[in-house]
Amino acid sequence: MKKIIYPGTFDPITNGHLDIAERASKLFDELIFVVANNPDKQQLFSVAERMEMISKSTGHLSNIRVESTKILTVDFAKENSALAIIRGLRHVSDFEYEFQMAMMNYNMAPEITTIFMMPSEKYVHLNSSILKDIAKLEGDVSEYVPVYVLEQLQSKLNS
Ligand code: ADP
């Protein structure tokens, strides 16, 4: 079984993340979302909430699993017998960081391949931080997140 992991913060998952997951899940038998559990980084949503939002937003895809981890991405990939890591690339500005990360991961685990994909043009300017900034100021973000995530965002920001 060919598996790919999709690591990230997903605070929260957006339609840009989903676009990448839908494309990558067609190429592999299983795609595992790996939610970073990093207590040093302050996030709006807890790990459990982020995982729940991913599960609810990917119900239409049959070969998706959602996990969280505190260990290195390449170690998680090895422990789960994944062949590859998928990452999204939007702008040239993403490239430098992603390139550095991919090279470090190759040094640590040459057998794990990093694959990059670009989302549909609609989501090229989208990231979770901008989304949260707009939502906090009561802007309309319904085009950019699944309905369940929109509800969770509204209830979190109004609480
Ligand atoms: P991280 O903290 O690991 O960057 P993110 O949740 O921000 O976590 O992103 C996870 C992955 O999804 C990264 O590869 C990022 O480039 C990609 N990504 C984020 N937003 C989008 C988007 N709108 N379109 C495509 N890929 C995206």
Ligand 1 in reach of 17 Cβ (< 6 A): yes
Cβ of 128 below 6 Å from ligand 1: yes
Domain count, the chain: 1
Residue 83 has pLDDT above 80, yes or no: yes
CA distances in angstroms from 118 to 80, 90, 121, 125, 130, listed in the order given = 25, 6, 8, 11, 18
Percent of the chain with pLDDT strictly greater than 90: 93
Distance 13 CA to ligand 1 centre (A): 9
Q: Please give the distance, rounded to the nearest whole angstrom, from the Cα atom of residue 47 to the centre of ligand 1.
A: 16
The Å distance, Cα 38 to ligand 1 centre, comes to 16
Catalytic annotation present for 41? yes
Average of pLDDT values for 46-59? Answer: 97
Q: Is the peptide bond before 7 cis (omega within 30 degrees of 0)?
A: no
Q: State mean pLDDT over 96-112.
A: 97
Give the pLDDT score at 57: 97
Q: pLDDT band for position 152 (50/70/90)?
A: very high
Q: What is the 3-state secondary structure (H, E, C) of the chain?
A: CCEEEEEECCCCCCHHHHHHHHHHHCCCCEEEEEEECCCCCCCCCCHHHHHHHHHHHCCCCCCEEEEEECCCHHHHHHHCCCCEEEEECCCHHHHHHHHHHHHHHHHHCCCCEEEEECCCHHHCCCCHHHHHHHHHCCCCCCCCCCHHHHHHHHHHHHC
pLDDT at 31: 98
pLDDT tens, residue by residue, 29-52: 999 999 999 988 899 999 999 999
Single out the catalytic residue among 3, 56, 78, 90: 90
Provide the CATH number for the domain around residue 64.
Answer: 3.40.50.620
Mean pLDDT value across the chain:
96
Find out whether the beta carbon of 50 lies less than 6 Å from any atom of ligand 1. Answer: no
Q: How far is the CA of 88 from the centre of ligand 1 (A)?
A: 6
Q: What mean pLDDT comes out for the span 117-132?
A: 95
Does the Cβ of 66 fall within 6 Å of ligand 1? no
Cα–Cα distance for residue pair 82/103, rounded to 1 Å: 18
pLDDT, position 135: 95
Q: In the annotation, is 55 catalytic? A: no
In terms of residue numbers, what domain contains 82? 3-157
Percent of the chain with pLDDT over 70: 100
Q: What is the rounded CA–CA span in Å between residue 99 and residue 96?
A: 5
Query: Out of 25, 50, 87, 128, which one is annotated catalytic?
Result: 128
Which residue owns the Cα nearest ligand 1 atom 20?
127
Kindly state the average pLDDT of the residues 49-62. Answer: 97
